[in-house]
Structure 1
Amino acid sequence: MNANNSNNSGNSSGNATRDIVAKLWNLCNILRDDGITYNEYVTELTYLLFLKMLAETGKESRLPENYRWQDLDGREGLEQLEFYKQLLLDLGSAQKVNDPAVLAIFTDAQTKLRKPTNLKSLTDAIDSLDWFSAREEGLGNLYEGLLEKNAAEKKSGAGQYFTPRPLIDAIVRLIKPQAGEIIQDPAAGTAGFLVAADRYIKEQTNELYALDAKAQDFQIQKAFRGLELVPDTHRLCLMNLLLHGIESAVDCGDSLSPDGETLGKADVILTNPPFGTKKGGGRPTRSDFSITAETSNKQLAFVEHIYRALKTNGRAAVVLPDNVLFEDNTGRKLRQELMNLCDLHTILRLPTGIFYAQGVKTNVLFFTRGKSDRGNTKAVWVYDMRANTNTFGKTRQLTLADFAEFEAAFGDDPYGKSPRIDQGEEGRFRCFTREQISDRNDNLDIAWLRDTSDDPEDEMTEPEEIATAIATHLKNALSAIADLMEELENVV
């Protein structure tokens, strides 16, 4: 499930970038008559911005001649629209394009624009933007700002592909990815985790200049791996990576199919897998799965992928809904296997309201792959950031500062081995031994604080928010029923 970004996240987005994002987003109003959705608009902008950004950065040699920004921008009317349609087809053809990144972005690309005047409005508006300032502040920041706008727009439904950037940045700061490590996201979304890990490494290495040429090449070409299932989201992912100087492969595919086996082993896995069940109730088709081979619950299956994909001593941080912590049968077996194979050292109970769908309660699980296959988890530390906390949403957005107390409690060691203090029943951070967890039937949905805060759903006033919350509850209920029926079938 990979809904926020920008100046709250620790990025260096400046005023010029925010102004450009606002102007580009307002252009969406032009396209209402063409029946274009928010997601389609961002995809359309991706095609046009890619052409313009290559022109602005002097990298148009990646495109074949006669398929560049000036070739499009210099045309008018119906001629321009017809040329644009053909350009999209040709840039997605291996016969015309040699650059794999360009080819991947334009594969199966087609425009939703129907009126020549709308295309001209877009190209003229893009031409008139302050590109000097955008380059100075970072074209990647500009593009991430657009992704944030799309994710924050409830009608787009894109929040499921966009994890809040303050949460991502807090996780990356704790996991501390290092130059030379292979970093994987098997549910890449728009590449938020990979981009943040790259940014962190660049901050530690003077923008990679502290590394030798071979190490620099590894960071650009090989350090980051991932898969994204949805083709249009994959397109946005590739564009985001490219604008941040990352050429590593994130392919379009399903990590719960044999595609996932091709990702290989990783030193670090950072991810927010999609919520719900596989489409049509399908099961994973991985030959290496055992615990989750017969379940349609995607989150459980992704956990199995992650602990299988981690190298010895590899570390992971994964955003997961509450049901992964308490589901019985397959869920319990998976948790037992996870705690045997890995040191599940920390669970962060996240506040509600930080994702696009109200009612989705989530956690971050931090764990390290052990050297042996038994008994790696001796104790689990649980930090409750949910009880008696602020309600997050449009009026109170999540910021990096909200994670300061958790980061201090977690400590500096990315393996969770820093000295820690159990804050007791009145505090937010507590330690539970493996024996205590076993006595709970391996239920990790551990809460001890009495929550007196208001339910964020009580404060909803917008019809779209209320409808989204109802739809989420129905979806969760149907998913729970499907899982129960599945377990009953296995018993029979």
Structure 2
Amino acid sequence: MNKKNTPKQPGKPRAIASTQSLSAFVKSICDVMRRSNCASALQYVPELTWILFLRILDAQEASAREEAEVVGAEFSPALKSPYRWRDWAAPQQSDKSEDKGHPGTDEGKPFGWKRRELFAAGDGKLFDFIDNELLPHLHGLDIDKRTGLPNPNASGKQRIIGRIMTAVERVRVDSETNLRDILDKVDEISIGHVDDQHFFTLSQVYEDLLLKMGEKNSDGGQFFTPREVIRAMVHTVDPELGKSVYDPGCGTGGFLAIAYEYIARKLGNSPASTDIDTLKYDTFFGREKENLVFPIALANLVLHGIDRPNLWHGNTLTGRATYPALFEQAPKVFDYIFTNPPFGGKEGKDAQKNFAFETGSTQVLFVQDILSELAPKGTCAIVLDEGLLFRTNESAFVDTKRKLVDECDLWTIVSLPGGVFSTAGAGVKTNLLFFTKGRKTGKIWYYDLTQVKVGKKTPMTLAHFGFAKDGSVLDDAQLPANLVAEWREDDENAGNPFPSYASLLPRRGTPEGESRYSWTVDFAARRAKAWEEKQPLRDEAVAIKVEVVDLKEQLKRRKKEKADREVIAELDARIKCYVLRNSRDIVP
């Protein structure tokens, strides 16, 4: 047998103990893909997604089977032979005596038995199996190929598997040699090989891959939000277990995944099984319309540990569904909404007609949608471009903002530097808005981070907000230099702690929350003052209305008396003048 085509024998699994080492290892896989007809991140990330997903799924299924056996429970696998990773993708085992102790399948066959069988059958057989047997089988877990309807016998997990795989029509890698190399490398990644001290290491590496996909996509900002910004938003809101978390335009699932991480950390090392089930099955919901992104979002959430991502595939604004099956258990309103609507998007009449204030602006329509889907006392954290806050030349913008401050308490606005979204392919100036539904806006606390210089090589981090990864507040020595440099140059600040966002957040709206970078606008007081200042105008409006009524009575009487035309014309002109003045000058 040619040495080039000799099957690789299984060795000792690689122990990957840090994000850095795992990231480098995954990069080596991407290098193989780049030379294999998947040159850009937009090509190799979707390809790696389904391969990596099936690898981790196999490890999760094996772990679940072992746990079921320990407690004497029945286990029903989502995939059966020969469609499991261990059958067709795992490195082939030889028949040599030294390999006899290597783990095998539940049926007693060696790992990689199907792959070895295909290898022996000749070149092209592995491709044939994947394209013509494996992928159709996985697609059929979701949609019955005979009827074209949802498979009535599929479990929730099988539906997710089928939906993740639905965008995969064939293998994109150009040769079986390269494919086997990729499979061998991916096989060395296991949920059991990640050091427990490095929480969610694999999912963090996958997030890095999604970032690369955003960088390569000219419209990358449409579906990728810098993860450190998301973490700051989640830390600010502090979501609790037992409440629903939702993103109406979830992209690759970043907000949901990081909210999951945050709540999971709060549960500690020994959470109750009921709490775990609540977190994994009944907490996270989202919508996404992009065909490329939707399966990646599902895979991303599964890799993070959300066993049942409740995602709806379709257009949130038109309400037109592509695939609603995974969203059937979603509530009508949500306790927490985290989102970043697409920047600069334009919507047609089919979307606009669903909203009270019609506009082509995607972000404005999303805000209206959020106001209808946020539960009473629910909290929203949203990324909006600065133009939405200050634009006054379109009524839909003004009316939507008025509705927001009248129905919700807009309690914090954070102004971000202009380069925050450059890593995601979008250099837009943005703000973070935090509001809670159920009462009018009282005091708005502003925090300004625009003095921080950030870009692709110097991205914004959680530390720029003053947060540690566990949510605690960093002291001055731990804060980034480009955050505190300007502050420290001022002699007046000598000996005073830096007023970071995280340190002042608990004191927002009070004198202690004021600083060089933060201030409070008493919106309720402004509203009351504006009302008071308008009182003379309202009094004048009442007087004018009384005068108009009197003039109309005079006009009616004069017409009845058949008075001179000049008298009637004068009365009519005076009425029109009063009405015009009232409509232009008097603000009720």
TM-score by shorter chain over 0.5? yes
TM-score by length of 2: 0.64
Listed as ranges, the matches of 1:441-460 within 5 Å are none
Structure 2: tracts of 5 or more residues without a match = 1-15, 66-76, 90-114, 145-150, 322-326, 467-499, 531-588
Give the partner amino acid of 2:379: R
Q: Tell me the equivalent position of 1:80.
A: 126
Q: Tell me the equivalent position of 1:428.
A: 518
Q: What is the CA-CA distance between 1:431 and the residue it aligns to?
A: 2.4
For each residue in 1:160-194, what CA deviation from the matched residue of structure 2 results, as whole angstroms up to 9, or x when unmatched?
42222221111111111111111111111222211
Between 219-228 and 353-362, the greater mean CA deviation after superposition: 353-362
Match of 2:79 among 49, 52, 63: 63
Give the partner amino acid of 2:136: L
Determine if contact 2:17/2:194 at 8 Å carries over to the other structure.
no
For each residue in 1:214-255, what CA deviation from the matched residue of structure 2 results, as whole angstroms up to 9, or x when unmatched?
x54332211111111112211121112212332141121221
SS of 2:446's equivalent in the other structure is strand
Q: Tell me the equivalent position of 1:106.
A: 165
For each residue in 1:238-282, what CA deviation from the matched residue of structure 2 results, as whole angstroms up to 9, or x when unmatched?
11221233214112122112259976201111111111223xx41
SS of 1:392's equivalent in the other structure is coil
Q: 2 CA distance for matches of 1:82 and 1:207?
A: 45
Q: Does 1:163 align with 2:225?
A: yes
For each residue in 1:84-137, what CA deviation from the matched residue of structure 2 results, as whole angstroms up to 9, or x when unmatched?
223123201134864121122112322322322221221122124476433746
Identity percentage of aligned residues: 29
Q: What is the CA-CA distance between 1:78 and the residue it aligns to?
A: 1.1
Determine if contact 2:318/2:354 at 8 Å carries over to the other structure.
no
Q: Does 1:250 align with 2:311?
A: yes
Q: What is the CA-CA distance between 1:34 and the residue it aligns to?
A: 4.3
Q: Cα distance 1:347–1:117, how it changes in 2: closer, same or farther (>3 A)? A: same
Q: What is the CA-CA distance between 1:56 and the residue it aligns to?
A: 2.5
Q: Cα distance 1:159–1:26, how it changes in 2: closer, same or farther (>3 A)? A: farther
Q: What is the CA-CA distance between 1:21 and the residue it aligns to?
A: 2.3
Q: Cα distance 1:380–1:20, how it changes in 2: closer, same or farther (>3 A)? A: same
Question: Over alpha carbons, which structure has the higher Rg?
Answer: 2
Q: Does 1:224 align with 2:240?
A: no
Q: 2 CA distance for matches of 1:248 and 1:198?
A: 11
Give the partner amino acid of 1:299: Q
Structure 1: tracts of 5 or more residues without a match = 1-13, 441-492
For each residue in 1:2-40, what CA deviation from the matched residue of structure 2 results, as whole angstroms up to 9, or x when unmatched?
xxxxxxxxxxxx853332222222333333454423122
For each residue in 1:458-485, what CA deviation from the matched residue of structure 2 results, as whole angstroms up to 9, or x when unmatched?
xxxxxxxxxxxxxxxxxxxxxxxxxxxx
SS of 2:18's equivalent in the other structure is helix
For each residue in 1:39-93, what CA deviation from the matched residue of structure 2 results, as whole angstroms up to 9, or x when unmatched?
2211111111122112323159211321111332224441111212231232011
Q: 2 CA distance for matches of 1:301 and 1:421?
A: 36
Match of 1:351 among 404, 417, 427: 417
Q: Does 1:122 align with 2:196?
A: no
Listed as ranges, the matches of 1:389-428 within 5 Å are 389=452, 391-404=453-466, 405-411=500-506, 419=510, 421=512, 423=514, 426-428=516-518
Q: 1 CA distance for matches of 2:162 and 2:270?
A: 27
Listed as ranges, the matches of 1:210-359 within 5 Å are 211=272, 213=274, 215-246=275-306, 247-258=308-319, 264-278=332-346, 281-283=347-349, 285=351, 289-291=355-357, 294-328=358-392, 329-355=395-421, 356-359=424-427
Q: Tell me the equivalent position of 2:443.
A: 379
TM-score by length of 1: 0.75
Q: What is the CA-CA distance between 1:338 and the residue it aligns to?
A: 0.6
For each residue in 1:273-323, what CA deviation from the matched residue of structure 2 results, as whole angstroms up to 9, or x when unmatched?
111223xx41453775212xx322111111111111111111111011111
Between 98-107 and 318-327, the greater mean CA deviation after superposition: 98-107
Determine if contact 1:144/1:240 at 8 Å carries over to the other structure.
no
Determine which structure has greater relative contact order: mean sequence separation of CA pairs < 8 Å that are 6+ residues apart, divided by chain length.
1
SS of 1:18's equivalent in the other structure is helix
Determine if contact 1:347/1:382 at 8 Å carries over to the other structure.
yes
State the superposition RMSD in angstroms: 2.9
Q: Does 1:361 align with 2:377?
A: no
Query: How many residues are matched?
Result: 410
Q: 1 CA distance for matches of 2:270 and 2:293?
A: 28
